[in-house]
């Protein structure tokens, strides 16, 4: 950890953390590349008309993702919230100003019961109501049966490939038969690149992405989809509040010009980088940690990866009885140490995600982990 990096936090009375958990909102989300940071610094030199900046960057993002239109948002959660507001009120000035009071509007958003999750709260914060379709084994017939004259949209959690989940393509077919839009939470579905482009290509109407996952700021996201709906979401957003007559609910969801520029810079990097080299770098980081743990008794290590590449790293399995401590206790000790090291620990194993580890972190993490395991 650099002395400057330590000093920034120590001067604030905050303990710096080595992040071996990956892209975690509670740890600050991401580590923008030097190129993205440079773009943000350059953007600070001048001010910009934010309406023009959002529209022009939206065009660039939409072209990269294969959608009709796009809008930078303050995180994927904001993209989902704006989506629900858009599906309820459209671009009607009176309805926009009426929210979160949804009296007289279509305000029900269907979700498969098997897809209920922590972040579906984002859909409801501007007044929408979640309506569950089916049970733990939802069928297409149950999704269609849940549609009423109060249905504003159907919400889908990507990738949605689990057992008992009606496929995205089938949900889109059902929804569009009834002239109902589909909102997709694709927050972390950023790799492979074809997967990221899958949702606009499939005909989803509004798709939210978390920009931290492709190297932008923790505080940013993207809403992509149908042009008429993105245009309406624009009216609901903070810039719509400032430039149009309607007093929209989206005014608190403000962005800096530097953040908007960072999303475009990061997405351009993401679509042009050598991902094979990026994944190979994850591999050598994992092996470096593994080699440092050679000789530690009662553990076994293996490099691991996932399809999205966000959790690539090292899995450390342990004999908790022989070690006299659990994986959770080891993780807690590392978190409480100085430097603080944050990683996943439980069920007899530690998972070390390497995506946000820089070179200086690797040996510090390995030495500290070895010390705790050997204690």
Domain end call among 248, 272, 296? 272
Question: Do 206 and 298 share a domain, yes or no?
Answer: no
Sheet with 344-346: list strands edge to edge.
Answer: 299-304, 313-318, 349-353, 344-346
Domain count, the chain: 2
Region 52-56: mean pLDDT is 98
Question: Do 102 and 249 share a domain, yes or no?
Answer: yes
Task: Quote the pLDDT of residue 249.
Answer: 95
In which element (H, E) is residue 133 found?
A: strand 129-133
Question: Do 252 and 360 share a domain, yes or no?
Answer: no
| 155: containing domain | 34-272
Please state, for a pLDDT cut of 70, what percent of the chain lies above it: 99
pTM over 0.85: yes
- What CATH number corresponds to the domain at position 21? 3.90.1150.180
Task: For 171-189, write each residue's pLDDT tens digit.
Answer: 999 999 999 999 999 999 9
Question: Do 216 and 358 share a domain, yes or no?
Answer: no
Question: Do 188 and 66 share a domain, yes or no?
Answer: yes
pLDDT at residue 1 tops 50: no
Domain end call among 219, 237, 272? 272
Task: For 63-77, write each residue's pLDDT tens digit.
Answer: 999 999 999 999 999
Rounded alpha-carbon distances, angstroms, from residue 337 to 29, 286, 341, 342, 371 = 21, 21, 7, 10, 11
Question: Do 72 and 221 share a domain, yes or no?
Answer: yes
Tell me what the pLDDT averaged over the chain comes to: 96
Identify which has the larger pLDDT, 7 or 261: 261
Question: Do 212 and 224 share a domain, yes or no?
Answer: yes
Task: Quote the pLDDT of residue 71.
Answer: 98
pLDDT at residue 148 tops 80: yes
- What CATH number corresponds to the domain at position 50? 3.40.640.10
Question: Do 108 and 227 share a domain, yes or no?
Answer: yes
pLDDT at residue 197 tops 60: yes
Region 205-233: mean pLDDT is 98
Strands 182-185 and 151-157 come out as parallel
Please state, for a pLDDT cut of 90, what percent of the chain lies above it: 95
Distance between CA atoms of 103 and 105, rounded to whole angstroms? Answer: 6
Q: How confident is the model at residue 2 (pLDDT cuts 50, 70, 90)?
A: low
- Cβ burial, residue 208 (10 Å; 0-12/13-18/19+): buried
Question: Do 14 and 55 share a domain, yes or no?
Answer: no
Domain end call among 240, 272, 304? 272
């Amino acid at each position: 950890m650099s002395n400057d990096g330590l000093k920034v936090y120590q001067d604030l009375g905050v303990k710096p953390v080595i992040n071996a958990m990956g892209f975690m909102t509670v740890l600050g989300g991401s580590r923008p590349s030097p190129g993205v940071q440079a773009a943000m610094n350059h953007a600070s030199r001048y001010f910009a008309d934010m309406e023009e900046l959002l529209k022009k960057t939206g065009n660039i993002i939409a072209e990269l993702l294969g959608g009709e239109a796009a809008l930078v948002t303050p995180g994927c959660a904001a993209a989902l919230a704006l989506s629900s507001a858009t599906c309820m009120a459209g671009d009607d000035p009176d309805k926009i100003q009426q929210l979160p009071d949804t009296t007289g509007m279509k305000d029900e958003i269907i979700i498969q019961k098997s897809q209920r999750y922590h972040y579906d709260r984002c859909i409801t914060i501007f007044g929408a109501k979640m309506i569950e379709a089916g049970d733990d084994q939802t069928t297409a017939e149950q999704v269609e049966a849940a549609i009423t004259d109060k249905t504003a949209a159907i919400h889908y959690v990507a990738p949605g490939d689990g057992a008992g989940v009606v496929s995205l393509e089938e949900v889109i077919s059902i929804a569009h038969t009834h002239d109902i839009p589909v909102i997709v939470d694709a927050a972390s579905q950023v790799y492979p690149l074809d997967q990221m482009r899958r949702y606009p290509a499939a005909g989803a109407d509004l798709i939210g992405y978390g920009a931290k996952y492709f190297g932008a700021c923790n505080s940013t996201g993207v809403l992509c989809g149908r042009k008429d709906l993105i245009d309406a979401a624009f009216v609901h957003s903070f810039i719509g509040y400032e430039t149009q007559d309607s007093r929209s609910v989206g005014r608190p969801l403000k962005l800096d010009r530097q953040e908007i520029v960072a999303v475009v810079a990061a997405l351009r990097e993401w679509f042009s980088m050598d991902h094979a080299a990026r994944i190979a770098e994850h591999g050598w980081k994992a092996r470096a940690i593994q080699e440092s743990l050679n000789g530690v008794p009662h553990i076994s290590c293996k490099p691991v990866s996932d399809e999205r590449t966000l959790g690539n790293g090292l899995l450390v399995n342990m004999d908790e009885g022989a070690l006299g401590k659990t994986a959770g206790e080891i993780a807690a000790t590392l978190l409480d140490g100085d430097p603080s090291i944050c990683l996943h620990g439980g069920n007899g194993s530690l998972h070390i995600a390497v995506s946000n580890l820089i070179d200086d972190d690797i040996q510090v993490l390995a030495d500290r982990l070895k010390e705790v395991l050997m204690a």
